[in-house]
Amino acid sequence: MPPIIEAHDLTKTYDLGGKRVDALRGVTLSVGAGEFVALMGPSGSGKSTLLQLLGGLDRPSGGSVVFEGRDISRLSDGEATKLRRERTGFVFQAFNLIPLLDVRENIGLPFTIAGHDANRGELKERVRQAIELVELTGKEKHRPDQLSTGEQQRVAVARALVTRPSVLLADEPTGNLDYTTGGDLLHSLWRSCDHDGQTIVLVTHDARAAAYADRVLVIGGGAIREEIVLGRRIDHSATVLIARLAQIGL
Amino acid sequence: MGIDRLAWRAVLARPLRSLLTIIGIALGVGVLSASLTLSAALDASVERTVHDIVGRADLRVSAFLDAGLSDTAVQTIRRTDGVATVAPVIQHRTFLASTPGGGATNAVTVLGIEPLSYATIHDLVIVKGRALATPDEPAALVSETLAKQDGYQLGSDITLQGPGGEGPLKVVGIVQGFGPLGGPGRTVVVPIGLARTAFSLAGVTRIDLQLAQGATQDATTAALASRLAEPYVLASPAGIAQSLRASSADFQATAALVAAIVLFVGAFLIVNTLSMTVGERAREVGLLRAAGATRGQVGRFVFTGALVLGLLGSGLGIFTGAILALVMADSVSAATGLTATVPGIDPSGSAIAALVGVLVTIFAAIEPAVRASRISPVEALRARFDLPAVRRARVWWVGIVFVTVAFLALIAWPPAIAATGSERALAVYGVLLLATLASPFLLQPLSRLLGIPVAMVLRIEARLARLSLARDRSRTALTLGSLVIGLAMVVALGWSAQAARASAFAWLNDVVPGDELVSSIRPIAADEGIQPILAQVPGVATVTPIASFDIAYQGFRLDAAAIVGADVLADGRLTAVAGDRRAALLALDSGGSTIVPTAVATRLGLHVGDTMRLALAGGEHLDLTVAAVVDRSIPGPGGEAVLVGWKDATDHLGVTGADSFAVRFQPGAGPTARQALADTAKTYALEANPIERIQGAVADALARVFSVFDALAIVAVLVAALGIVNTLTMSVVERIRELGLLRAIGMSRRQAMRMVIVEAGVLGSVGVVLGSLTGLGVGALLLALGRGLGPAAGFPWVPIEFAAALGLILPVVAAIYPSRMAARVSIVDALEFE
């Protein structure tokens, strides 16, 4: 698989009230097109920071991020906005939806922000397909507060996928969901990867979620401590992964 | 840490919001304080003026005729029952022979007094030298102003020019300041006997008198009326004060009304701010409750915060008020004709305004405090606690605050003008309250409608902005309400000014039978032949003479004008509201008839067919029959003139000639004709004034009055703008996560900025529509109650355009800071990854 994102010696330092904190200390990685990669690690390990840098949400303190062959670590704000709008899709743990917009409007939001009418022609069809993908047909007019937490996250996934981004970046998307709902959501993500070749980078501290990935990168202390290759599997059993994690003391 | 310190920290935690609220309160208190200070200054000016005019006199009898009141009249008054002291004076304008240095000199006013009796009633403060000793001593006093201007010193010689002029008088004393008559201050005080001789006068100008113990003004007035045969005009200190107050009452009433409205807007800001604070602090409040704080302590937390804001705002408001009062003093003096001397910080006005400010703040805090105390600790600490429900200000509470402020404003209503305009104020408050309560219901449909043009260009920004406005309707309604009120006042006051101007213009057009008034500084007799000369100027169609003079009727001095009835009839001027216009105008020329304006007819209870008995010299009188009552009449110095024919004016009323000619040009006569008239007029020492120029002077005078009100109304809009900054900032803070999300999925900084600006723009445009409609309602009410609502008032396009500009620009300016804040949202921080 040709690489779609590459990170080279990535560092990120925060200044917290005069105290310097190194969130990342020289991370190098590569994500191939159509690959499902999970970033795992305990709280404060730097996995979310790494995701932000890979998606162009933040700038690294050192090193570089190459996205589709282009260094995005020094992009201007406008260029970074364009990248997020056109090439990446994000799903977060919470605060994923605009409460004032209904399901269809939330999903079509990236198009609307780009100045397109999401209710016409091909875009309308893409929104419909995205709704179908996350199995929310019939609930297009519902507002977020009229949906369950799981449904809300599925809307977020649909919104992230509707632009057909090169990479979907998800940060603890199942963190607020119960066992069954979380499973459904992960299955949706996996299906988009397996069926449509969608590249996914998932941040999680849950081995069961990470078990959906082809490859798991274990982050600790701001660096990649371990790479666990699981391969593409129809069954998403976490047994092998948990065993490996236990071996490295996680 | 005590609850009070926590409240203080809550105020400091949001410095911008606290500062804006303090400024809002300060502006409200400042405008109220300035209004009260100016009102007190005007009252003091009235008292001072009355004292300057009549001193300790109980009544003043003034001669109606130039010849003055005869010695017989003086003796009659002296012997009238109830009169204790009589101080006759002669007042005469003249020139002095030369200055002490021998130079030319400007005119002076000579005051002839009886030293003893005058001193009983008036204070004559001598700063150098001594007072006059006897009624015929060849000595003079000069005012400090005159002494300074012309170089007089003690011992200087002073020579009065007059028909009976005698040798020079010695200056024996200098009188403080402008002297006993105020005004320009060029005053010479001499013994009354010398003044009489110098000017060859038979009578005195006026007599100030003090009543004996137990005597009443009414009884003495009646006794004088039955005994005095000569025409005179009677005035009392109370009457003079009343007429002086009447000249400023409307101004004071309107200023007080606008001040109260600024305070309303300030109150809205306070309610909104405190509601936002309660919402923001809901979790902390829950925590406090969980930790054992009582409901009372939580309430105190909110009240203390309010008190801090109220005290700081009111304190700042006192200084703001002092500065505003100083800035406005000149305009107020120009508008009312009274000298408003502002004493820096006026203790009573400032104290009342500050007290009202603190009370309004505390009152506005009641509902948020109660709401805070009701927050359930369990609910507040839940992860998915519904903050907006706690944050939401209650619009009904604003209604109550509004009514309370109205009540306080009526209590603080300047006592001197209590009778004027309090009903008008109540009616205006009512309309504004209705508009405020209706705003939440009209917000949604109007923002949808007005957002359409923006949505065509900025789809997502307009959609999100509109939804954001609807997120917390109560808060938006409060912000909108204050903007609506401010803009409504701009429209209403602008309309009032427009109507007043139109009414003044219509008045002149309705009554003056010409396009220009050619005026003279001396009466021009008919046999001088000036009228035919003017009539022969190419382009001139008609010329008609007008004379202005005074008449005495039932002890009142009235403005009168002599006109040629046939000319006015032919020119189509004057509108009769009672009686036959044509017959009445022709009757003027025949003599024995008069036409009175509605204002005079109403004041004196005159009707068509009544007889006006005018007092003439030597105990004579002239009876004139009221032939018609007209809507408006020719303006005189003190009001609208009673119209008489030239025959009566010259035969009986002492008129010797015209002091102006109304000139009508032929249709199509252009600037050449006007220039020719001006040139001819100049040849005869006359001045040609186009009606437009007179209208311009009227417009300038009105502009001076209304500029003060406009400034106050704009302060209300500024306070509303502060509220918009607060609301939009809060709105951005609340939406930080949403903004982070939007930025994460591709919204640019510029789009985020535009979204907030569009939000302000939509709010502003809804404010403009509702403010204009409300302003039309308030304006119609003000005009209807002031009887100024008519076709002449026109539609207030210009005030609405001005309000629209203010209502659209100010909110957008107010949105700059919050929009930049929105644009700078850090995606990472907003979404709080780890």
pLDDT tens, B200-258? 888 898 999 999 888 888 888 888 888 887 778 788 888 778 777 776 777 777 777 88
Contact A77 B749 (CB under 8 A): yes
Q: Quick: pLDDT tens for B150-198.
A: 888 999 888 887 777 666 889 999 998 888 876 667 899 999 988 888 8
Range of weakest confidence among A141-155, B310-324, B330-344: B330-344
Contacts of B384 in chain A (CB under 8 A): none
Question: Residue A123 pLDDT > 50, yes or no?
Answer: yes
In this prediction, residues B826-831 reach a mean pLDDT of 81
Q: Is A75 on the interface with B (CB under 8 A)?
A: no
User: Which residues, at least 6 apart from B340, have a Cβ–Cβ distance to it below 8 Å?
Assistant: B38, B41, B42, B45, B329, B332, B333
Q: Report the complex ipTM.
A: 0.81
Contact A89 B831 (CB under 8 A): no
Q: Is A57 on the interface with B (CB under 8 A)?
A: yes
Q: What is the pLDDT of residue B200?
A: 81
Residue scoring higher pLDDT (B368 or B175): B175
Question: Residue B696 pLDDT > 90, yes or no?
Answer: no
Contact A89 B460 (CB under 8 A): no
Taking CA–CA distances from A205, the nearest residue in chain B reads: B834
Question: Residue B380 pLDDT > 70, yes or no?
Answer: no
Pick the most confident of A27-36, B349-358, B374-383: A27-36
Cα distances from A63 to residues A10, A24, A97, A201, in angstroms, run 4, 10, 33, 20
Taking CA–CA distances from A59, the nearest residue in chain B reads: B828
Taking CA–CA distances from B386, the nearest residue in chain A reads: A145
What is the pLDDT of chain A when averaged over all its residues? Answer: 89
In this prediction, residues B109-116 reach a mean pLDDT of 90
In this prediction, residues B30-45 reach a mean pLDDT of 85
Range of weakest confidence among A13-22, A160-169, A191-200, B498-507: B498-507
> Do A40 and A238 contact (CB within 8 A), yes or no?
no
Three-class SS state of B581: helix
In this prediction, residues A232-247 reach a mean pLDDT of 88
In this prediction, residues B112-130 reach a mean pLDDT of 90
Q: What is the pLDDT of residue B402?
A: 78
Taking CA–CA distances from B740, the nearest residue in chain A reads: A95
DSSP summary character for residue A248: T
Q: Quick: pLDDT tens for B557-587.
A: 788 999 999 999 988 888 889 999 999 999 9
Q: Nearest 5°: phi and psi at B81?
A: -60, 135
Q: What is the pLDDT of residue B528?
A: 85
Q: What is the pLDDT of residue A95?
A: 63
Range of weakest confidence among B198-202, B621-625, B771-775: B198-202
Q: What is the pLDDT of residue B183?
A: 65
Per-residue confidence band for B832, with pLDDT thresholds at 50, 70 and 90: low
Pairing of strands B187-191, B139-143: antiparallel
Q: What is the pLDDT of residue B403?
A: 81
Q: Quick: pLDDT tens for B492-533.
A: 888 888 888 787 777 778 888 888 888 887 778 888 888 999
In this prediction, residues B96-116 reach a mean pLDDT of 80
Contact B833 A48 (CB under 8 A): yes
CB-CB: which of A84, A112, A171 is closest to B459? A112
Q: What percentage of chain A carries pLDDT values higher than 70?
A: 99
Contact A98 B742 (CB under 8 A): yes
Question: Residue A127 pLDDT > 90, yes or no?
Answer: yes
A vs B, Cβ pairs < 8 A, gives 81
Beta bridge partners of B87: B208
Buried b (16+ CB within 10 A) or exposed e, A160-184: bbbbebbbbbbbbbbbbbeeebbbb
What is the pLDDT of chain B when averaged over all its residues? Answer: 83
CB-CB: which of B460, B827, B828 is closest to A113? B460
DSSP summary character for residue B338: S
DSSP string, B684-725: TT-EEEEHHHHHHHHHHHHHHHHHHHHHHHHHHHHHHHHHHH
Cα distances from B794 to residues B503, B769, B770, B789, B806, in angstroms, run 10, 19, 20, 9, 22
Q: What is the pLDDT of residue B418?
A: 54
Q: Quick: pLDDT tens for B54-78.
A: 888 889 888 877 678 888 888 999 8
CB-CB: which of B471, B737, B745 is closest to A109? B745
Per-residue confidence band for B645, with pLDDT thresholds at 50, 70 and 90: very high
How many angstroms from the chain centroid is the CA of residue A209? 12
Tell me the C-alpha distance between B384 and B229, whole Å: 94
The secondary structure element, H or E, covering residue A40 is strand A36-40
Contact B833 A112 (CB under 8 A): no
Q: Is A214 on the interface with B (CB under 8 A)?
A: no
DSSP summary character for residue B69: B
User: Which residues, at least 6 apart from B689, have a Cβ–Cβ distance to it below 8 Å?
Assistant: B516, B517, B518, B519
Q: Measuring CA to CA, which residue among B601, B610, B568, B571 is closest to residue B585? A: B568
Is B348 buried (19+), middle (13-18) or exposed (0-12) by CB count in 10 A? exposed
Tell me the C-alpha distance between B211 and B336, whole Å: 32
Q: Is A44 on the interface with B (CB under 8 A)?
A: yes
Q: Is A118 on the interface with B (CB under 8 A)?
A: no
Q: What is the pLDDT of residue B1?
A: 47
Per-residue confidence band for B140, with pLDDT thresholds at 50, 70 and 90: very high
Per-residue confidence band for B384, with pLDDT thresholds at 50, 70 and 90: very low
Tell me the C-alpha distance between B823 and A76, whole Å: 15
Contacts of B834 in chain A (CB under 8 A): 43-44, 47-49
In this prediction, residues B709-730 reach a mean pLDDT of 82
Beta bridge partners of B109: B93, B187
Three-class SS state of A24: strand
Range of weakest confidence among B28-32, B64-68, B439-443: B64-68
Beta bridge partners of B139: B170
How many angstroms from the chain centroid is the CA of residue B781? 18
